[in-house]
Amino acid sequence: MKFRGLKRALHRNESELVSVAAAVSALQGEDTTSAVDVERLLDLAIVRENGIEKSALDNRTYSSFRLKNGLQVLLICDPKLEKSAAALSVKVGNHSDPPEIPGLAHFLEHMLFLGTEKYPEESEYSTFLSDHGGINNAFTTAEETNFHFDVMSDYFYEALDRFSQFFISPLLKMDTANRELQAVDNEFSRSLHTDAQRMWHVFKSLSNPEHPFSRFGMGNSTTLNDTPKREGIDVHAALLEFYETYYSANRMKLVLIGRDSLSVLEEYCRDLFINIPNRNTLVPYPYPHPKGQAFSPAELGKRIDIVPIRDIRSINILFPTYPVTYDRKSNVRGNGSKPKGRNPKVWHTYGASSYMAHMMSREDPGSILSYLRKRQWANSVSASTSSSFSDFSVFSITIACTDTGITEHVSDIVESVFAYLNIIRDAGALKWYFDEISALSAIKFRFKSDEHPFSCATIRASRLHDYPINKILSASWIEPSFDQEAIETMIDALTPEKCLLIVMHKSFDGKVDLQEQWYNASYSVRDLDARLIESIAKGPNKEALDHLKMPVPNQFIPESFDLLPFEKPEALRMKGSLKKNGTDKMNKLQYHSTLVRKAGLNDRTIALTDLCHTHIEDKRKVALATVEKNLLEQWEGKDDVWRPPALIQANDNSLLWIKQDTTFLRPETTVRLLLKSSRFSESPLQHLKTLLYINLIDDCLSESNYPAAVSGLNYTRGIDSCGFGITVLGYSDKIERYFEFIVSSFRDTSGFEEGLFNRIKENVSKSLSNERKNSPLSHAQKKLYHICQNNIWTAEEKLAHLENITLQEIKDQEQYIFAGAQLELFAYGNVSIQQSQQLLQTAESYFGCDRSGSEVSFPRTANFDARKQYIYVEHCQDHENPNSAVIVSFQLEPVSPPLQAFCAILEQFSHEIFFHQLRTNEQLGYICYASHYSINGILHFKFCIQSNSKDPIYMNDRIEQFIHSWGDRVDSLDETQFENLIHSFINNTLQEKRNMQSEEGYWYASIENGLYDFTFRIETAHAAAGLTLEDFRELYHQYFPWAAPNRKKIVVGTMAKNHAIQLFGEDYDEIMENKESEGFGSVLDGYLSSEAREHGEVVHVSTIQDVLSSTQFYPPNKELIQ
């Protein structure tokens, strides 16, 4: 098939555009100086408020102070916030665990949630947050424990009151400690088969055994129960002692972010947190450590081979080196004072770390990755300071290898990495390169979006321990000043004698002789090959010198940050035959004319009367008060964030949507190009071919795209059953040129060659094969989606075709998959109407020349029979994984605003109750939650558990018992509780989008699904406002109780081998002969309880096809809505 416009467009691309690739090529060998004006960009990026540096476009206000008890506080006021958040970080972690009780700090983190003297109920804190639209979490690291939450702003003070009691008077009761111990063990069990954890613990085991880094930090039932009991250690007494020793106000940092004024937030702190005791705890991490360095010279210069769980082929070069601080002048640690008696030369700086991370992670010509890819030895290279502690840090270089690279060229790859490090060392610290990094950081900081309150509070509380207060907002964005000595000191620390070389590959199985104590990782250790060290010491060879180069100046650093004025779109313009016969053409395009006309041919839309409603307490009133507004005109102030996109052009085979940003005022543009066609994924084989094609394109683009990517321009792409999407986003300055470069590249197969094809094919095979090692709950989730809908292909179905696919078949895809695809383009942000039309024209020149129209087959959802329970349980494909999982899902009806509101409110009501009963009380598993979801427009509600102690059949029974008691809770729900749920749901639903990414993502989701339901949030909130308690109970009783008339239940489970042996006993081997690759089916019939059979007719499922071939299907999404 010929594309007449393609040659013409490509010719224009070559003659009129300076492509990214051409720009990079033109620069090779030129004078390496950069004209970037860092100081000017920094001046534009930073303003100061109350002594704190913040982004010039940041409208939030900040202040900091220290309470009399020594607690340092950062306050953030944002009057627009519907939700407020808080975080408190304690500067203590598992490095302070008593050597005889590993995991105690983590155990204490769990215990603080389970009641205080003022609020003794175990679930009081979590339930209060859940009832008022909030969430909470905590984490423990080597040197920190961080607690955080968010909640509706109206209830911030009450939530803070409950939160503050964790640190004033926790109960820490013995009986709850014994029960919560199982939760810690479940969390540990969940991580057992995580290769990153396994590698990290092998690394830890090789450190100085007297240093706390060598210890096991998570804890489990062995370290927190079995061993202490055997040795007569009172863990509960140790828990109390740990709390009394380290949970001191002078070791804590508190962050509050809310809509209240700074003065009110300060009152909250003084009222609620002043009673945290200050025990004047000393720094728990002395430097130098009295037990010696974490890694002495004797422990370095080793090679470690590890057998991974997944098919991993990686080389990890880890350099345990000096600690990292913001800059050598501040050296802020712990309580904020400068450490005494330290030689500043033994501190790396964030600037030096960033410099080396950028240098080693380059992807452009001359980089280490470019060199390794050309030899088909590696797929990616990344570098960073991966871990930082008070007395040392770890700089990591990770190479993801090909099979050839990992089996035949490990020494060659390592030698190449150190050859490049030698080239960097010889070149010295390049100020112009550091300036480019600083310039891009300043630009990003200037135009950064407001952080979500929850993550903002969490991150800032942690960083208050490490950054000077005046830099608390800017330090993680803005590079400190150029420090040549610091950079050269860091370069000098990266030598083979000072590293640990960790190689991970399946081929080591049976060839290693050691086993790590906690994660049972098999590994071996030996000294680095003397010949390798000698070869590295000689310096780069001629081949390396010919290919490995220092970077050249980046020509894609944005220069213009001008904002375009708002333009009122004209009414929909139609071109070609669509104008003459719109309805017929819409049908041919698979667009439902009623949906497009509703969204595109009407210039009016529903809106709230009060779009900015933070000041209004009655949320029902807010949701019920709606008006019609003109979507072609700019709305006043911040209200414009609610104005939907406008359909401004409809051609024979394309639609153009636009939404100009007038709210966030950033010089950024996002362009979404959606190519609708079933050809991309019409079968497992075709899906696989498309996947290989776009992965080849990505690899061909890698080098030429890199300068643009680090300058804030980038692209993503994806395929599904309805088509293929390309997203181009970044600073508006060069977005049109970049868009054409990207879309043209997706029609260019000239870079496809056999070696590259084999490498990409190997990567895809590895990725698909590794799905077998996903968590049991992840497996169950995927199986659920496969059971519930058609046109979804499993990894096994795709792998069956992979070996026989040829390079020529993939080259032929360029003509096949794009033929007749229907185009839909959405331009958002700092973009004009004319620019958006030009973008569409560019897309049409590459993809839209064939007017034949390719059929789009939308996926459909199975319509399960009422009063039946479909049960599919399979054996876990990873036989070593000790966890089982179950999902008990209920199918409801097609999505509608009232039903969506009901499901969301039911989730809010049930989430904490379900968690508390099955996780906290029954300790079934660490992962335990309830949620609603939709598949192709059909609403479902699911209960999920992953457990290391129980099988899916048992978990299903316990979930059913919960549902039975849950009904009593629904019936006993009072009007006040229900009103809180309604209020919270409406508040969450009607929160305005906080940044360009979230607003654009919401609009695009409505375009991508073809429903154009831009006002669905408002309609759902409106429906919730009209929901009564009686309505809520009636809907619940339709779908969930055991005798509910519309009960449609689907059980999907993944059973661990150890649980299957326990369940089937001596019949296990016979059963598994035929059930290794499918569900257990009717085998489970004899293991179901008599009570379980009363919940509906049991349909045992052996294969997914059993369901799909015998079940009716709902119509596609659009037909349901229409």
Q: Write out the catalytic residue numbers.
A: 109
> What is the amino acid identity at position 55?
S
Contact 915, 1087 (CB under 8 A): no
Strand order in the sheet with 61-66: 61-66, 72-77, 252-258, 83-90, 145-152, 135-140
Within 8 A by CB and 6+ apart from 522, the residues are 306, 307, 508, 509, 512, 514, 515
State the burial class of residue 431 (Cβ atoms within 10 Å of its Cβ: 0-12, 13-18, 19+). middle
Distances (CA, A) of 772 to 192, 775, 960: 15, 9, 29
* φ, ψ of residue 133 in degrees (nearest 5): 70, 20
What is the DSSP code (8-state) at residue 655? E
Residue 478 CA to residue 56 CA, distance in Å, equals 13
Buried b (16+ CB within 10 A) or exposed e, 752-777: beeebbebbbbbbbbebebbebbbbb
Burial of residue 369 (CB within 10 Å: 0-12, 13-18, 19+) is: buried
Rg of the Cα trace of the chain? 30
Distance CA 1002, CA 997 (A): 9
Which pair of structure tokens corresponds to residue 432? Answer: 């112009």
CA 610 to centroid of chain Cα atoms: 33
> What phi, psi does 114 have (nearest 5°)?
-105, 45
- Concatenated DSSP letters for 253-268? EEEEEESS-HHHHHHH
Evaluate whether 261 touches 77 at the Cβ level (below 8 Å). Answer: yes
Nearest CA to 552 among 20, 32, 25?
Answer: 32
Q: Is the peptide bond before 288 cis (omega within 30 degrees of 0)?
A: yes
What stretches of 1029-1102 show up as alpha helix (H) in DSSP?
1029-1039, 1057-1064, 1068-1075, 1090-1093
Measured between alpha carbons, how far is residue 715 from residues 654, 672, 702, 839 in Å?
21, 10, 11, 15
Q: Per residue in 308-331, is it b (16+ CB within 10 Å) or e — as a string?
A: bbbbbbbbbbbbbbbbbbbbbebb
Nearest-angstrom CA–CA distance, 532 and 528: 7
Tell me the C-alpha distance between 502 and 523, whole Å.
Answer: 10
Cβ neighbours around 792 below 10 Å, total: 20
Number of C-alpha atoms within 13 angstroms, CB side, residue 634?
11
Instruction: Using DSSP, state whether 936 is helix, strand or coil.
Output: coil
Residue 813 tokens read as: 């895809």
| CB-CB contact of 926 with 190 (8 Å) | yes
Strand-pairing partners, residue 822, are 676
DSSP designation for 865: P
The answer to whether residues 482 and 431 touch, using CB atoms and an 8 Å cutoff, is: yes
Q: Which two tokens stand for residue 733?
A: 């300055």
Helix (H) / strand (E) element for 239: namely helix 235-246
What are 297's two structure tokens?
A: 């010279």
CA distance 186 to 181: 9
